Structure 1
């Protein structure tokens, strides 16, 4: 099978080479102007690389005229393979390069035709042969560029996978120094390292999770399951996860500081043992109380943080008064007189504190489940029992209501 450039007039090189420097500059300038993305990467090196690529391509095309040689010998092909790889390293796809090559092809045909016409008459058949040859030659350049881009992307994907595995292992193992952990997540594109939400999934869901949460999560495969670790953000919010994980037998652990990822994963494992899995995602936060009653200190701590968050900004002394009053009020089923007697304060003081608690906790105080969880948390906090004793140390009225 003959090559398209075998039919290119052999006197093309002699006619065009004297104009080659001007032609190189014109094509390089036209490529940059026709592709706005090049304007964003202007600079001495970019301009030099562009001119070099155009010069190498034109020089090779002239050498091919009237021959049946392969379009690109290895040393020249590697120039364009490297060009494609450089585009991938700049996080650009093939569109920019392919657009540049289309522009170059049109200008190459125009310049070749004008060069021949300047030395002798040119036939229609010769123009057609030039058009076929330039199109085929530029296709070879495009193939080399896309090959380089694909190679670089494969290499980056492999390195990216390694970095993601390292980040997942560090978080799951726990105990990593802060600077080491932050360096690991920065390498995979996480802007910060704050709270992390673990999700337990069947092993056959690992690949899909990597695809769905590529920028926000890392996946570690274990012996019997897979763990997706999501950085805190919109995609880790409960409504979003409930929809994304429907039908996937998922267990969503609590969002805890990154240093507590092992504990969050443990709570997810215990929740899976307690309630199993099903079509709807299981959220561990719905089972904190049950886990705490089964002796999981991490569940009690997470439940305390969740239920008492509204009081976190109160002054220590005021916070302690409010918590003591709330615990007593819950145990006494809302009897203000009983709370006043137990705490040795005036009933109006109790009313003031309860009004303040309602401002902070809102309608949660009327929710039976929340009230039970509050009582569980408050009854287990350090020093909780001291509120039930009189100043002389004797026990007061009103034992626990649970």
Structure 2
């Protein structure tokens, strides 16, 4: 069976002299088309970005040059390379959250401009009889339909991709908030949204009416999960997770930021943010749980104590275990005895100069923390949990009635 003959393309019927007639006025036609397209839809008319203007002009030039090439041929409207160009235009519109109506309006406007320009050019070289005008109209319509189809395809692809990415981002947020997920599962899910190699996360509890704004403000660096009463935004480590940036981005939004933690401890950090919200109203915000870890630790929150321990003792992490324990025992005694060297040396059974040497080493490691009241308080909390035997148990404390006054 013989294959069906190929139907002629609409532009194959156009007179070949049309190409030569359109070429001299090509720059002016590009300007006309791009200007009309920029005003074709309200979504375009309000854009003042110079890049947008350049992109529209480039698209107009590519389309017009291709139409001129097609005149009198049976070639496909768009070879793969050019089709991907217009697919990318549609995808870009989706990323800018402009609807498909604006794209289609732009192509309709471009088609009218192209038909007028082609008619005027052809009229300079031959009479325009009705058959030629009909052929020209059919060719322009078919060509513009191909352009619109490519951009619509790109728009649809991008929307689908964004929806898929949204699902992947939500999936990662669920895994981190639920806790206990295998590292390989988290790593694979994170890689799917470009979070390869992330380690630290800052959880932020935000009111539901600020959830969408928070998602937009932190973009690719945050994943968000809405809950019945609030939403949790998880920001990966980086410039956007720093306290100054968070304070700026979340000002006036009633947010409470939990401590930065390794991703397996996200549920714990979210709980600390929630408890902090109970302590301090976040009407304006943001409130930082970091400022209230000591209070939470005193209330028996093991998570707060764990964060304090990790942070306050981090400068000693590289020491040998025995050396670290010796310095911590000395620091504990020094804090409890208000820096009285003689009492520390008596309690530890070491020479006073040994106490001085150890405290000098601790000052090298801890720096200003030893002179900061809040730093000393948090260090004492951490060390009190580490060396509980230094404190009398309630049952071993003598009752006042049993004490003799001498």
Common topology (TM > 0.5): yes
SS class of match (1:164): helix
Distance 1:276 1:325 in 2: 39
Render the CA deviation track for 1:92-146: whole Å, top value 9, x for unaligned: 669xx99xxx9xx99xx89x979x99xxx535999x9799887766544443333
Evaluate the alpha carbon distance shift between residue 237 and residue 303 of structure 1 in structure 2; reply closer, same or farther with a 3 A threshold: same
SS class of match (1:198): strand
Give the structure 1 partner of residue 70 of structure 2.
58
Deviation at 1:214, TM superposition (A): 1.7
1:185 aligned to 2:190? Answer: yes
Residue correspondence of structure 1 range 272-351 to structure 2 within 5 A: 272-351=277-356
The gaps in structure 2 that reach 5 residues or longer are: 1-9, 20-61, 95-102, 393-406
Give the structure 2 partner of residue 230 of structure 1.
235
1:13 aligned to 2:13? Answer: yes
The gaps in structure 1 that reach 5 residues or longer are: 1-9, 20-49, 64-74, 389-402
RMSD: 4.6
Render the CA deviation track for 1:190-224: whole Å, top value 9, x for unaligned: 13231111000001111111111120011100011
SS class of match (1:213): helix
Give the structure 2 partner of residue 385 of structure 1.
389
Give the structure 2 partner of residue 87 of structure 1.
88
Evaluate the alpha carbon distance shift between residue 353 and residue 151 of structure 1 in structure 2; reply closer, same or farther with a 3 A threshold: same
> Any conservation in 1 of the 2:11–2:70 contact (CA below 8 Å)?
no
Give the structure 1 partner of residue 5 of structure 2.
none
Residue correspondence of structure 1 range 97-108 to structure 2 within 5 A: none
Distance 2:129 2:295 in 1: 86
1:199 aligned to 2:211? Answer: no
SS class of match (2:284): coil
> Any conservation in 2 of the 1:268–1:284 contact (CA below 8 Å)?
yes
> Any conservation in 1 of the 2:172–2:190 contact (CA below 8 Å)?
yes
> Any conservation in 2 of the 1:88–1:153 contact (CA below 8 Å)?
no
> Any conservation in 1 of the 2:206–2:230 contact (CA below 8 Å)?
yes
TM-score (norm 2): 0.68
Give the structure 2 partner of residue 375 of structure 1.
380
Give the structure 1 partner of residue 225 of structure 2.
220
Evaluate the alpha carbon distance shift between residue 113 and residue 289 of structure 1 in structure 2; reply closer, same or farther with a 3 A threshold: same
Deviation at 1:81, TM superposition (A): 12
Give the structure 2 partner of residue 366 of structure 1.
371
SS class of match (1:353): helix
1:122 aligned to 2:131? Answer: no
Render the CA deviation track for 1:232-276: whole Å, top value 9, x for unaligned: 111001110011100000000011111111111111111111222
Give the structure 1 partner of residue 59 of structure 2.
none
Render the CA deviation track for 1:159-209: whole Å, top value 9, x for unaligned: 111111111111111111111111111111213231111000001111111
Deviation at 1:76, TM superposition (A): 8.1
Work out which of the residue numbers 248, 257, 262 in structure 2 matches 1:257: 262
How many correspondences in the alignment?
327
Evaluate the alpha carbon distance shift between residue 160 and residue 299 of structure 1 in structure 2; reply closer, same or farther with a 3 A threshold: same
Further displaced range: 176-185 or 269-278: 269-278
Distance 2:272 2:229 in 1: 16
